[in-house]
Structure 1
């Protein structure tokens, strides 16, 4: 009798523990049915439950571009035969820009959202060459990646190393600047590197910048992930930065340059002792979703208020302290082994992201409640798995109406 009682209680305890863990980690999704689509040699499924989301979500599978339609719960392939990543739809809804990667370089191209011919924006191809006195060859290949449209649908932010040979005298390094930095270009001047505007510089040697985007309603503000070393040059520092993208252009050449803190117009909005990355503005520009690397090896999807008035005087110590205050209001939404690449729905009522389980990344959806009084977000139920079978976790998704 005693053993039966212990077994019964243990069973109840284990059942409660399973439910508790599901609630804490938000692995939910209900009894979903997935319609299979053949992708190469495997099957990728799409959740067929009705009314999961509105609009279209663009992402890549095996580095081909696909679009998931929320109205029909169906997948459509848009590119084939090239290594494509990081799609971005222009604000006017006409164009999709994306990265095309090759062995030694990458291009940025764009096409109509309805398909059709590709248009070259930046050609990264180059060649190796020798310089007298050097035993190793140099090259002028370029990595051009992560295009993101400006509000006018005529300009784009992007990452590149095309100025890698231009900064020796400023950085004091006897090496090219291989870290990716942020630039802006016009689609009316394709492949014209002389017309490209410098936007944000790197601290040389730890990866540079990533994930750039404009703040909605504020063409004078951008956000990005900034990789650097600490003062000891031994510990990696990963922070979210904001910046006025026009500040470098307004100052004389040499005022700002790569290599050292304080010589660029970016301002940190997350602290150096916490690794934060992959920011995404809400459609109204007032909230930032981002990923935080947790101390237990997990990754968390958080939201925080957008700092106000911090990009006009970024190197002022008082402003630097002010810029970090909204981070203290961060709220955890989802936590898991590899949560990544958040993107807001066009109406601001949901966030899609990649979640890693069963040795594959898939697209998940979290619907949100918004408290108008406190101006805070919270999960509206458990996350919903949108795909099965695996998508590319190293390519940003993009969500349009």
Structure 2
């Protein structure tokens, strides 16, 4: 093994002593207990990806599962004696049931496609679940029932569904046809908003719970008596609503404005849900919501101080100007490694926060990175030796940042945010300047603006799309505070790079990129684009090195 390789192994095996031990968790009123369910004299919830059960008042919590996979979506049987849930004991997500007292869970589904629990049938003889096993695309799932005693699943007649709840007599079903886009886009109002439909098994008739003009997201249907209770963001944050199946009246039952209600479930006259990290119950008889105080004392292996190693934990890297050391982002720490001699050096030692995207300054003195130590991501500039004060710069972008690029004079830094905006920050004054914005959306968390500095640190070249979804290269003058366009917008150009003299700008260009750049259309499936390398001169009087030459008689 080379010395460099040995140093990398040291980095990968670096001990991370996490400060958030079990003692830092409130074991008398624990937060972030998720996906609650209620039935009989018990409640169930998920914590640390394991299934837990407690008394209905929140007392005596105990863990029912402890495997390495993820447990989710618990629901109680009508008699409150059994819990159906999803688990990954054998790698795939399948449906299981377990007695409320605990024991070895029984696996009910065996198909390689992931299955997810919805509810029990009203008689408790079968579990209703969703799966994409019989659909032509991963975009949809269908509903199935499987006997609790085991057997082959039966498919319901509905063409597609995600969440569902039976009417008390089992004659009808409240269901949502499509997936929940609002999990990705808050306040989503597009064409695939989550709607609730009432399906009649006798004649296959359907009725849609009406939505306000402009649409809303309605989810987690719970059929109780003659009413369907559900969650909706029609008036802002997700709150609890009811729909009277006779009068068709819709009533809002809760008035939360800070955080949404998530993962609601019904049992024995009570609706249970999570809101603001706390489990609440809503008594249908009194119309009152109450907090449940649940104390969970778990070993929480991810918070236990421990040694970790593995190349999978390296996410960001850069090399010092001389090549004598390299810097890595390893599990939220910034660590430098020698090329041959010396030891790895952790320059952050902040295991309670996340540092990312390290970039070594051209003068070799500093390393810049983003840190959420304050609660929001800020720019930190630290001495590369790990000694001395760390300078902190508050950023006013959209929250998440990427692609740190130092200016050659080591006095400025350019970067992007997840709003697809390009900035540069003057490290001496702390002033942050917005340079450009992407005019249209493209896939990915940050886009691909790709800023690059001129050798004299007075210009920035970058790439954004124009309104026709074609990439264009632009130059920004720091002195003039002005943007200059390089191309005419009729071709696709990108990946700019200055030469060392600052006289030329290189970039790739394409005249057949149009169909391929249209990423959202299927028309690009059989298309290919070609690119060529181009050069543009940046100074008057500088001839192109590619200009044609001809010997002539003088």
- Structure showing the higher helix proportion among its residues: 1
TM-score (norm 2): 0.36
Larger Rg: 2
